[in-house]
Amino acid sequence: MNQKDNVMEKIVSLCKRRGFVFQSSEIYGGINSCWDYGPLGVELKRNIKDYWWRCMTQLRNDVVGIDASIIMHPRVWETSGHVAGFVDPLVDCRKCKQRFKADQLKENKCPECGGELTSARQFNLMFKTHLGPVEDDASIAYLRPETAQGIYVNFLNVLGPSRQKIPFGIAQIGKAFRNEISPGNFVFRSREFEQMEMQYFVHPKEDVKWLEYWKNERMNWYLGLGVREENLKLHQHTKKELAFYAKDAFDIEYNFPFGWQEIEGIHNRTDFDLSRHSQATGKDLSYFDDQTKEKYIPYIIETSAGVDRSLLVFLVDAYYEEEVKGEKRVALRLDPKIAPIKAAILPLVKRDNMPEIAQDIYKKLKPHFNVFYDEGGAVGRRYRRQDEIGTPFCITIDSQTLQDNTVTLRERDSMEQVRVKIDDLREELERRIWG
């Protein structure tokens, strides 16, 4: 039984109740479209980013990372086309004064009150600020609306020291900001969010091959973290959707309770970005292949994922309800690699030396895994609490432990229990988490 109905409401409520995600500035009444991650949410988010980083850089020899500044030279955004083009057309209702995105309206009248609409005005989604004490046009700066530009402008800086040869990539994880007109659906669309982006530099004649390659890699990344295949699909941009500089583009979409929506873009951006930055700065951003003696501006295959959107995918896909012995059981079937807490350590009762043995196990495992100690209440209730936050394993110290130094290891999804020697716990967990 995995009802789609109300699943978003259930997840939002679970996130608040168990400390995954809170509305920003809640005690002030909250601020629309900004979210704070609580103790469990921050662990989940960090695990997602770490796993992405590991897969995209550390386990490969052709991708290196950077961490660029959020505020960049304002001319970057002129060159990239964001100052002129990163806009949504907006209309206002003359009667009720509400504001709408023109391209989302089915008819030319207010969807709320039927009133007459103004003609569309262009609204730039970039947040503006000023650098330094004087607020004039010369001091304007922007909060980056994507992390990609930080990679393009560092192409030469990275190329030299990293001694990479084409094809190679540069990866970055960081905050991005967009003054979205209609934020919503929890953390799916917010005004401050995080991106995990990788720009892969290729020979212009190899773009098709590498786009295909990254499409598969990125799909497999979600599948490898347990997202159900039937809930993922690739959507190829139609001519109308395609950005003017892109040659081909795909979105990975997820079947959210509110419909199929993009979670990651995989785009062939051609030589547009490097050419434009080259023209604007007079710096030669071409690549010289010392074997073929060919000089060219590389094409870029981009993979651009949202951290917060991925987190929502993992939560929605993992949310599971069932009836066990006449009681409702809620489980988050998160992959152990990203689960906030890997194992809970539970003495069956608070006597007979069980808490002491449990504490000892806890201290031994703590440097290696994020484990949690809990001795309060019936063990069944303690299991349920862990199921609900996605803890994949529970380790219980019982009377048999006192005799043979074994504990039970309970697996969240099957609820199966096996006995494991205390000395083997670390290795057993390692194997079950990382395979």
Provide the binding-site residues for ligand ATP, judged by CB under 6 A. 146, 178, 180, 189-190, 193, 195, 262-265, 304-306, 308-309
Phi and psi at 255, nearest 5°, equal: -85, 80
Task: Please report how close the Cβ of residue 309 comes to ligand ATP at its closest, in angstroms.
Answer: 4
Q: What's at 158, amino acid-wise? A: V
Give the separation between CA 434 and CA 50, rounded to whole angstroms: 13
Contact 274, 262 (CB under 8 A): no
Q: With respect to ligand ATP, which residue has the nearer C-beta, 201 or 250? A: 250
Task: Please report how close the Cβ of residue 336 comes to ligand ATP at its closest, in angstroms.
Answer: 24
Q: With respect to ligand ATP, which residue has the nearer C-beta, 309 or 410? A: 309
Task: Please report how close the Cβ of residue 264 comes to ligand ATP at its closest, in angstroms.
Answer: 5
Q: With respect to ligand ATP, which residue has the nearer C-beta, 305 or 348? A: 305
Contact 400, 354 (CB under 8 A): no
Place of tokens 């979210």: 35
Q: With respect to ligand ATP, which residue has the nearer C-beta, 189 or 342? A: 189
Q: What's at 75, amino acid-wise? A: R
Task: Please report how close the Cβ of residue 285 comes to ligand ATP at its closest, in angstroms.
Answer: 22
Q: What's at 60, amino acid-wise? A: R
Q: What's at 373, amino acid-wise? A: Y
Task: Please report how close the Cβ of residue 24 comes to ligand ATP at its closest, in angstroms.
Answer: 14
Task: Please report how close the Cβ of residue 148 comes to ligand ATP at its closest, in angstroms.
Answer: 9
Instruction: Report the alpha-carbon angle 123-127-132, nearest 5.
Output: 135
Q: How far apart are the two ends of the chain, measured CA to CA in Å?
A: 28
Q: With respect to ligand ATP, which residue has the nearer C-beta, 146 or 271? A: 146
Residues of 408-427 as b/e, b for ≥16 C-beta within 10 angstroms? bbbebeeeeeeebebeebee
Nearest to 413 by CA among 319, 315, 340: 319
- List Cβ neighbours of 366 (8 Å cut-off, separation of 6 or more): none
Task: Please report how close the Cβ of residue 339 comes to ligand ATP at its closest, in angstroms.
Answer: 22
Task: Please report how close the Cβ of residue 249 comes to ligand ATP at its closest, in angstroms.
Answer: 9
Q: Count how many residues are written for the chain.
A: 435
Give the separation between CA 232 and CA 255, rounded to whole angstroms: 6
For the record, the structure tokens of 37 come out as 């991650």
Q: Which residue is nearest to ligand ATP (CB)?
A: 306
Q: With respect to ligand ATP, which residue has the nearer C-beta, 119 or 238? A: 238
Q: With respect to ligand ATP, which residue has the nearer C-beta, 125 or 420? A: 125
Q: With respect to ligand ATP, which residue has the nearer C-beta, 276 or 309? A: 309
Residues of 88-115 as b/e, b for ≥16 C-beta within 10 angstroms? bbbbbbeeeeeebebeeeeeeebeeeee
Give the separation between CA 252 and CA 132, rounded to whole angstroms: 40
Rounded to 10 degrees, what is the CA torsion of 317, 220, 64, 79?
Answer: -80
Give 23's strand partners.
Answer: 35
Q: With respect to ligand ATP, which residue has the nearer C-beta, 88 or 374? A: 88
Q: With respect to ligand ATP, which residue has the nearer C-beta, 110 or 305? A: 305
